[in-house]
Amino acid sequence: MSYRPPNLPLAVWVVCALLCMVPAISVARTDDTNRRTPLVKAIENCQHSVVSLRGQKRVATDASLEKGEQVRHVNGMGTGIVIDPRGYILTNFHVVDEVQQIQVTSIDRQVSPARLLARDPITDLAIIKVDRIDGLKPIKWGTSSDLMLAETVAAVGNAYGYEHTVTTGIISHLRRTVQVNENQIYENLIQTDAPINPGNSGGPLLNLDGEMVGVNVAVRVGAQGIAFAIPVDQAVEVAAQLLARINETQVESGIQVVTRYSQHSPSLFVSHVAGGSPAASAGIQVGDQIVSIDGSPASRSLDWERGLLEKKGGQSIRLVLRRNTEFEVTLNLKSSQLSGIDTANPVENLAWRTMGVKLSPATEQELAGRHPNYQRGLRVVAVRPGSPAERERIQVGDILVAMHGWKTESMENLHYILTQTDLQHHQQFMFYILRGREPYSGQMRLANVGTELR
């Protein structure tokens, strides 16, 4: 039953009722208005590429210990940057370090738990993975090589828990070195006066073209308008290294790649081809430019690693290469030698990452009668292509018996040696192996030990 006010003609009432039934119509704004600035468009285009992170970690404090409590729970927040639509997200390591459960929220309020896949404490970057959020889009990459002082930038992040907060400012300075505590020093940072607050960490710093030029990481406590971001060119390469640590547990291609810049524009090239590898069988050569991977354009190391994500041995990828002219090859992938390595085991993980070898204790029978000075050692089970071990011609079946002046009689011995400060700073060291009954020696430097798998 409808209500008709008294003294209102029926015809007028009918018209009013019909008008009330018509939904409100919003006028679409066109691009020729002054309000749709480049910054507005940039933020619109990145909304499905930025996610909010929440989590809880357990910390021990003096106050909790005084109360007889072992730990207390602290709620944390941060921001993540989508680097692959399958749910791979880049953020700061300090955002997710020791967080019990990482919760990810997208712009359209989809919520999903995430797991930490790989981390680099030195650069304070990490990769996490969500499985149940649709519509994620990779961020649009820019370059930090041509940033200009006073250039306008915007920060997007989960500031104080206010999701997808946008703040703006300028580039205040470049190549800053900042020490935030006794254990963390950042180098080559972008300084900006765009307001960055707790929760912004791990979010993008954007230019007016909507391209990411940095990862927001820190603020100067007590100061106004002083904040810092990791340059995107550095962050993208670290992200590629992190994905490489994930991929190498699944497949082998025999290829190592490098990003090279010309006029601030990146291109992707083959820097190493392992002998006898799938890449060698496909005729791929050092110096080949990788133009596309399975039909997707490739210009950075990250594109290569994204092309290998979630692949398995026996599968193939289609590459368009440029060597004078463009041509196409099919690269048939092999199952990874690392598939048997427990990446949660810090010793196995460290040996594989830094030396490029998978090791297991040699039995007394294997060493019996080989050499009077060595009764125990570590047998080489696998050698990673392109690793320091491969470059020094270490082979499967060799027995590592000593390095850096210590015997390697157990995995515990090896862990002690690999964590020595001088080795971690890439000092060259001597190693000794037994091949058959013959002893061999050589010199090696460890690969970068900063990038870690969790």
| Cβ-Cβ contacts under 8 Å for 346 (sequence gap 6 or more) | 415
**One of 49, 106, 201, 336 is an active-site residue; which one?**
201
As a whole number of angstroms, the distance between CA 192 and CA 176 comes to 11
Contact present, 378 and 434 (Cβ < 8 Å): no
**One of 49, 52, 94, 336 is an active-site residue; which one?**
94
**One of 48, 84, 120, 124 is an active-site residue; which one?**
124
HSE-CB at 418 with a 13 A cutoff on CA atoms is: 24
Q: Is 124 a catalytic residue?
A: yes
Q: For residue 361, what are its two tokens?
A: 């204790």
Q: How far apart are the first and last CA of the chain?
A: 66
As a whole number of angstroms, the distance between CA 291 and CA 378 comes to 42
Q: Is 164 a catalytic residue?
A: no
HEC sequence for the chain = CCCCCCCCCHHHHHHHHHHHHCCCCCCCCCCCCCCCCHHHHHHHHHHHHEEEEEEEEEECCHHHHHCCCCCEEEEEEEEEEEEECCCEEEEEHHHHCCECCEEEECCCCCEEEEEEEEEECCCCEEEEEECCCCCCCCCCECCCCCCCCCCEEEEEEEECCEEEEEEEEEEEEEEEEEECCCCCEEEEEEEECCCCCCCCCCCEEECCCCCEEEEEEEECCCCCCCEEEEEHHHHHHHHHHHHHHHHCCCEECCEEEEEEEECCEEEEEEEEECCCCHHHHCCCCCCCEEEEECCEECCCHHHHHHHHCCCCCCCEEEEEEEECEEEEEEEECEECHHHHCCCCCHHHHHHHHHCCEEEEECCHHHHCCCCCCCCCCEEEEEECCCCHHHHCCCCCCCEEEEECCEECCCHHHHHHHHCCHHHHCCCCEEEEEEECCEEEEEEECCCCCCCEEC
| Rounded to 5°, angle at Cα 269 from 268 and 270 | 135
Q: Is 371 a catalytic residue?
A: no
| Rounded to 5°, angle at Cα 344 from 343 and 346 | 90
Report, as residue numbers or ranges, the catalytic residues. 94, 124, 201
